[in-house]
Each structure stands twice: as structure tokens, then as C-alpha cells.
A = this chain, B = another copy of it.
Amino acid sequence: MSKIESILQDMELGLPPPKAPVANYLGTKRSGNLLYVSGRVSKLCGVVGVDVSEADAKIAARDTMLDILAIVKTDIGDLDIIHSILSMQGFVNSGPSFTAQPKVIDGASELLIALYGEAGKHARTATGVSQLPFGASIQLNAVMELK
């Protein structure tokens, strides 16, 4: 078992079955050692701060990163090949007065740091938007560096 999946198991988390992109694009695209990862939305739907609590949204951000890692594993073969997480962008489907987007996206960032340590720390942007595909609460994309 890969080192990263063993850490996931210790955290009592696992990779979900990888889901294909919902439209005409790839889950990931590689250029040299850079891996561009497509935006993925949470299964959790609804407006954070209105229909969805900050705490539930944070868990959904973590679970969306697990969905991303499942796709990345399918595309590159082994999560241990990731050398470093370079950047992540998180969009939060936000009610008019919800301004804690960073705390929500921490759900994904904390998972990456738990799995990859120092190499999992990344540049990040967390933004509020008024609507996401399928009404999802969270959308994440990333740029990773491979070994």
C-alpha cells in the first residue's frame, strides 16, 4: 500500500471511487512535472451560511479533496508520486453575509497537510460565489508538482 493511502487509513478515511468529469474535459492534465487538476464540486449542495453550516461545509471541502485525490490516483497511478501541492483554489457557494470562506476551505488544506506534511502546504485562494455546478456548496481545483 502506498504511504499516503496508509496515512488515510490511519485517519479512518478512504478514497471514494473516482468520478469521471461531468463534461468535456479531463480530471487532470500534466505538463512536465506540473499537474493541473480540474475543479471538482462537493456532493453536498446548498448555500453556506443559509442552507449549510460552516462545519458541514468544512467536512464537504475535505471530502471533495478526497474525490480529487481519487481522480489523481487514477490518472498518475500512485499518490506517493505527488512531490508537492503548489496551489489550491476554493470556491464557496456563499450566502450574502457568509465571509468565513477560509475556515471552510481549511477542511481541504488540513487534509493535504496531514497527508503530505510540509510538502502539502500550498498557496491558496478562497472565494465566495453565488452559484456552483449542480448547486454544490464547494468547488476545489489545484496545481500539484509530481516527482
A99 to B23, CA, bound (A): 13
- Check B99–A134 contact: CB distance below 8 A: yes
A42 located at the interface, meaning its Cβ lies under 8 Å from any Cβ of chain B in the complex = no
- Check B132–A128 contact: CB distance below 8 A: yes
Give per-residue flags for A76-101: 1 if the beta carbon is below 8 A from chain B beta carbons, else 0. Answer: 00000000111111010011111111
Complex: chain B residue closest to A101, CB-CB: B133
Complex: chain B residue closest to A39, CB-CB: B125
| Number of copies of this chain that the complex holds | 3
Q: A128-B131, A129-B130 are in contact. Are A25 and B141 (CB under 8 A)?
A: no
- Check B87–A121 contact: CB distance below 8 A: no
- Check A123–B87 contact: CB distance below 8 A: no
Residues of B within 8 A of A84 (CB): 29, 31
A29 to B86, CA, bound (A): 6
**Interface extent on A, as a size class?**
35 or more
A88 to B28, CA, bound (A): 12
Complex: chain B residue closest to A47, CB-CB: B96
Complex: chain B residue closest to A30, CB-CB: B86
A27 to B123, CA, bound (A): 6
Give per-residue flags for A112-147: 1 if the beta carbon is below 8 A from chain B beta carbons, else 0. Answer: 010000000111111111111111000101010100
State how many angstroms separate the Cβ of A142 from the closest Cβ of chain B.
9
Ordered by A's residue number, 7 sampled pairs between the chains whose C-beta atoms are within 8 Å are A23-B109, A25-B121, A29-B87, A36-B143, A39-B124, A99-B131, A99-B134
